[in-house]
Amino acid sequence: MTHRFDLAEQGVRELNRALHAANGTARADAWHIVNPRGLHNVAVGLDCALDVTVEGHVGYYCAGMNQRARVTVLGNAGPGCAENMMSGLVRVKGSASQYAGATAHGGLLVIEGDASARCGISMKGVDIVVRGSIGHMSAFMAQSGRLVVCGDAGEALGDSIYEARLYVRGAVASLGADCIEKPMKDKHREELAQLLADAGIDDVDPDDFRRYGSARQLYNFKVDNADAY
């Protein structure tokens, strides 16, 4: 069943109430949301295999806490898109503002434009693929998951990173504390090729990317650094 919801006629609370009515069920309805006009909290907290298309730009926290649903934004997304996502797919056809995919535990977030600062901050298992470039402090304290950037990365990439894996095709302005470049082995190329395929990106070569991750020097207290505390 296909539903159409006009946010110029009804509010975001009514929309989310209608979407949440399917939570926890096996329903796989399609929803077309029109006139989002940059509103915040569109399609948050979903827990069902819905297919949601938002025809326009959205504000803060679109598709936050997503589970199982497929959410497509036909425009740009404000801060916190797909924050704390658990599973499913969130695709932004335009660009995303700050901390896209923050603290997300699973699923796939695809940004076809650029992502601003702190993309993937504290990511905990999500896969994020950015067709364009990302801003500074991205993957800060990233614990697990994969971040793929087909463009450039801003300053302090991967600062205080744990075990997340970062793949960047373009230039990296600088690496954050404890983040280093690591060898690209065959298994990493295969992993990257699959991530690009899942994101629908078929015109870039995995061999053009470099891999970054943790040097694992911040895991334990070192007495020689006591004066810094």
The answer to whether residue 222 scores a pLDDT higher than 80 is no
User: In 3-state terms, what secondary structure has residue 38?
Assistant: coil
The CATH number of residue 106's host domain is: 2.160.20.60
Number of domains the chain contains: 1
> pLDDT above 70 covers what percent of the chain?
97
User: What is each CA distance from 14 to 19, 34, 57, 183, in whole angstroms?
Assistant: 9, 14, 19, 50
Asked if 65 contacts 48 with a C-beta cutoff of 8 angstroms, the reply is no
Rounded to 5 degrees, φ, ψ at 191 are: -60, -45
Least confident interval from 34-43, 112-121, 212-221:
212-221
The answer to whether residue 229 scores a pLDDT higher than 60 is no
Asked if 50 contacts 20 with a C-beta cutoff of 8 angstroms, the reply is no
Gap between the Cα atoms of 44 and 66, Å rounded? 6
Gap between the Cα atoms of 71 and 87, Å rounded? 11
Asked if 176 contacts 156 with a C-beta cutoff of 8 angstroms, the reply is yes
Asked if 129 contacts 199 with a C-beta cutoff of 8 angstroms, the reply is yes
Mean pLDDT score of the chain: 96
Q: What is the pLDDT of residues 54-108, one digit of tens each?
A: 999 999 999 999 999 999 999 999 999 999 999 999 999 999 999 999 999 999 9
Gap between the Cα atoms of 57 and 19, Å rounded? 19
User: In 3-state terms, what secondary structure has residue 151?
Assistant: coil
The answer to whether residue 25 scores a pLDDT higher than 80 is yes
Gap between the Cα atoms of 58 and 40, Å rounded? 6
Tokens of residue 175, six digits: 């690496």
pLDDT tier, 219 (very low <50, low <70, confident <90, very high otherwise): confident
> Which DSSP helix (H) or strand (E) runs through 6?
strand 2-6
- The β-bridge relationship of strands 179-182 and 210-214 is antiparallel
Domain that holds residue 31: 2-228
Q: Which of residues 155 and 227 earns the better pLDDT score? A: 155
pLDDT computed for residue 200 by the predictor: 98
Gap between the Cα atoms of 7 and 37, Å rounded? 8
- The β-bridge relationship of strands 144-149 and 179-182 is unpaired
* Cβ-based neighbour number of residue 50 at 10 Å: 23
Residue in the block written with tokens 């991750």: 213
User: In 3-state terms, what secondary structure has residue 178?
Assistant: coil
Q: Residues 120-129: what's their mean pLDDT? A: 98
pLDDT computed for residue 118 by the predictor: 98
Q: What is the pLDDT of residues 144-170, one digit of tens each?
A: 999 999 999 999 999 999 999 999 999
* pTM of the model as a whole: 0.95
Gap between the Cα atoms of 124 and 145, Å rounded? 6
